[in-house]
Chains A and B, each alone.
Chain A
Amino acid sequence: KQEVTQIPAALSVPEGENLVLNCSFTDSAIYNLQWFRQDPGKGLTSLLLIQSSQREQTSGRLNASLDKSSGRSTLYIAASQPGDSATYLCAVSPYNNAGNMLTFGGGTRLMVKP
């Protein structure tokens, strides 16, 4: 059974720092991996989706990489801002189910201090 782990569970940084969030998964047979942002008491917003054949995706100050063979993904946030404070979750979909059965990590709660 696929398991997804996110480390650290919580992170506090001063404004302006570059930071890396980690996501690891146990079964490398994935269809894609997604990174989401969740604000307190809200739903999830999709940030980046990486197909299994891709190595990275970029959107603005965000860059997500995927190393499928080692079961790892990282989300890099450049020049962090207080508005980046939120919980970040990664999720993988299995290769044989084309994205229907996502497995989520527990999330990393990020606080960026002014």
Chain B
Amino acid sequence: DGGITQSPKYLFRKEGQNVTLSCEQNLNHDAMYWYRQDPGQGLRLIYYSQIVNDFQKGDIAEGYSVSREKKESFPLTVTSAQKNPTAFYLCASNFQTGANVLTFGAGSRLTVL
């Protein structure tokens, strides 16, 4: 079945450590996105990529980094520079033409100890 796979589902990090969240899609979608969700709040865009080897900052990119070496993969690294990294992280993807309906992964919950 086609879809988006995020891993790990739960991740614990000590302060000062970098962690990488994985996002893989087999939908042949062109664009991929990373969102952050805090309790009771809407989603905020961290980074997005419309094409391989290219990506743009979203509203809250500071303290995060991404890469897009393959069309199927868009990993997110939460660096030690991110002051408040505890959150629920969602990856999404869509085609660049047509209705632009987003497909989401199941999410990764990061907790800083």
The residue that B101 contacts in the complex, of A34, A100, A103, with Cβ under 8 A, is A34
Binary interface encoding of chain B residues 97-113 relative to chain A, with 1 for a CB under 8 A from any of its CBs, else 0: 00111111111010000
Give residues of chain B (81-104) contacting chain A, Cβ–Cβ below 8 Å: 88, 90, 92, 94, 96, 99-104
Q: Which single residue of chain B is at the shortest CB-CB distance from A45?
A: B104
Task: Evaluate contact between A43 and B106: CB separation under 8 angstroms.
Answer: yes
B43 contacts partner chain A, Cβ-Cβ < 8 Å:
yes
Q: With A41-B107, A41-B109, A101-B58 as given contacts, are A106 and B99 in contact (CB-CB < 8 Å)?
A: no
Task: Evaluate contact between B102 and A102: CB separation under 8 angstroms.
Answer: yes
Give complex CA distance A34, B103 in Å. 12
Contacts of A49 in B (CB 8 A): 99-101
| Residues of chain B at interface, number, CB under 8 A | 27
Q: Which single residue of chain B is at the shortest CB-CB distance from A107?
A: B42
Q: Is the interface of B mostly helix, strand, loop or mixed?
A: strand
Give complex CA distance A42, B88 in Å. 9
Number of A-B contacts (CB under 8 A): 62
B31 contacts partner chain A, Cβ-Cβ < 8 Å:
yes
Question: In which size bucket is the chain A interface?
Answer: 20 to 34
B50 contacts partner chain A, Cβ-Cβ < 8 Å:
yes
Contacts of A42 in B (CB 8 A): 106-107
The residue that B107 contacts in the complex, of A9, A43, A89, A99, with Cβ under 8 A, is A43
Give complex CA distance A44, B102 in Å. 9
B40 contacts partner chain A, Cβ-Cβ < 8 Å:
yes
B53 contacts partner chain A, Cβ-Cβ < 8 Å:
no
Query: 8 A-B pairs, CB-CB below 8 angstroms?
Result: A32-B100, A34-B101, A43-B105, A43-B107, A46-B103, A91-B42, A93-B100, A106-B40
Q: Give 13 new A-B contacts, CB below 8 A, not counting A41-B109, A44-B104.
A: A32-B99, A41-B107, A43-B104, A44-B43, A44-B102, A91-B42, A91-B43, A98-B100, A99-B100, A100-B31, A102-B43, A104-B44, A106-B42
